[in-house]
Amino acid sequence: MNEIIQEAAKILENGGLVAIPTETVYGLAADAENPEAVAKIYAAKKRPTNHPLIVHVADAGCLADWAREIPENAIRLTNAFWPGPLTIVLKRSSRAKDFITGGQDTVALRCPTHPITHELLTAFDNGHSRGLAAPSANSFGKISPSLAQHVRDDLGEKPNGSVDLIIDGGPCNVGIESSILDLTCDPPRLLREGAITASMISRVIGGPVLHGQDNHSPRVPGTLKSHYAPDHPLELVEEENLAGRAQFLARHFETFSLIAPENITKRFAPISAKAFGYKSVEDLQTNLYDWLHQLDKTGADVILVVPPQYSDQSCGVLDRLTRAAVPKNK
Ligand code: TXA
Ligand code: MG
């Protein structure tokens, strides 16, 4: 076994915190059955303690240990998408304690595909279906990390930071958090949009999928109005309004940075503080968090974003962009 994985497994055994690479974003992992270890996650993130955490498992064989009354659709979906960026919400077993589920009768389960984390989960599981609680490895309300450097800059490694070990597994190729699907209701509900889209899920289960939460849905803090927000204001601008908005800002001696389709950034780069052009929705999704981290640092007054057209595939990235555009105190 790789040395770093051995070291990480040992830290987790002893109730420590390890930042793990996943295909979506970096996670802040702790033993999901150790209440003191899980408490350290909340303290490091400064996250309200009634917010439930996702339990990351090595494979679908762990479902029956963490959940009960598992519907047929859970089997179909895990066969189709695990390991991968789909989190499923099921009724919990007695193994998923209140300190993981926020006191709810459900548990969120995910099996990530990143090879390092997959190996770590398999080592940690050790044939006992043990899981790792792992929210995104960022301070509550900040932009999620898609590079190990983002975790170093925000939470940091001990002794100066709060994480025992940050594993650098390179850039996260999906780039936004997993899709979360509530399977405790029929039809299932997509509580958080991600790379596994509603139509991909529909195709596998052969039926409809509802979007968003209703009054009975479990709490999902990633769906608070303002989340994933940079420190500087972010505005969504349609292409036809961009020139006018740029002129307005210039007249008020305000600077802007830009994220837009490549053909647009080519034209606007000379008058913006910094610009990133995207080639496709997938390119935007993969790079969004890193670009926001970088643009936040340039110090321009406003981050302007020309969003992609609405489609099944762009739902996830549009969701993150609209939340990032909500003023921080909302
Ligand atoms: O891609 C991801 O899912 C990443 C990586 C690290 O795996 N993790 C992540 O975790 O985004 P976090 O904590 O930032 O977001 C998890 C979301 C929260 O919005 C939480 O409310 C929801 O999952 N969640 C956890 N348990 C739940 C439950 N039992 N029912 C409904 N939602 C739940
Ligand atoms: Mg998060």
pLDDT tens for residues 23-50? 999 999 999 999 999 999 999 999 887 7
- For residue 30 the two structure tokens come to 């702790």
Query: What whole-number percentage of the chain has pLDDT above 90?
Result: 88
Ligand 1 atom 22: the closest Cα is on which residue? Answer: 220
Q: Among residues 236, 225, 246, 221, which one has the least CA distance to residue 327?
A: 225
Q: Give the list of residues 6+ apart from residue 309 with CB closer than 8 angstroms, or none.
A: none
Task: Give the pLDDT confidence score for residue 131 in this predicted structure.
Answer: 98
Q: What is the pLDDT of residues 315-326, one digit of tens each?
A: 999 999 999 998
The pLDDT assigned to 299 comes to 87
220 pLDDT more than 80 = no
| Residue in the block written with tokens 């209140």 | 98
Q: Are strands 86-92 and 106-110 parallel, antiparallel or unpaired?
A: antiparallel
Q: What is the pLDDT of residue 49?
A: 78
Name the band, by pLDDT with cuts 50, 70 and 90, for residue 254: very high
Hey, which residues does 31 pair with through a beta bridge?
132
Tell me: pLDDT of 130 over 70: yes
What number is the average pLDDT over the span 148-173?
97
Take atom 15 of ligand 1 and give the residue whose Cα is closest: 135
Position 271 pLDDT exceeds 80: yes
State the pLDDT at residue 35: 97
Closest CA to 177 of 298, 42, 27, 291: 27
CB of 272 closer than 6 angstroms to any ligand 1 atom: no
- pLDDT value for 148: 98
Whether 53 is in the pocket of ligand 1, judged by its Cβ within 6 Å, is yes
> What separation in Å is there between the alpha carbon of 272 and the centre of ligand 2?
30
pLDDT of residue 327: 82
Q: Whose CA is nearest to atom 29 of ligand 1?
A: 107
- Report which residue type is found at 16: G
- Residue written as token pair 């990235």: 317
Report which protein residue has its CA nearest ligand 1's atom 32. 220
Q: What is the chain's mean pLDDT, rounded? A: 94
Main-chain phi, psi angles of 291, to 5 degrees? -65, -40
Q: Is any ligand 1 atom within 6 A of the Cβ of residue 101?
A: yes
Q: Where are the beta strands (DSSP E) in the chain?
A: 18-20, 27-31, 54-56, 67-68, 86-92, 106-110, 132-133, 165-166, 179-182, 189-192, 210-211, 234-236, 256-261, 275-278, 302-305
On whether the CB atoms of residues 258 and 307 are closer than 8 A, the answer is: no
CA of 151 to the centre of ligand 2 (A): 13
**Which of 46, 98, 180 has most ligand 1 atoms within 8 Å of its beta carbon, as the pocket-test mutant?**
180
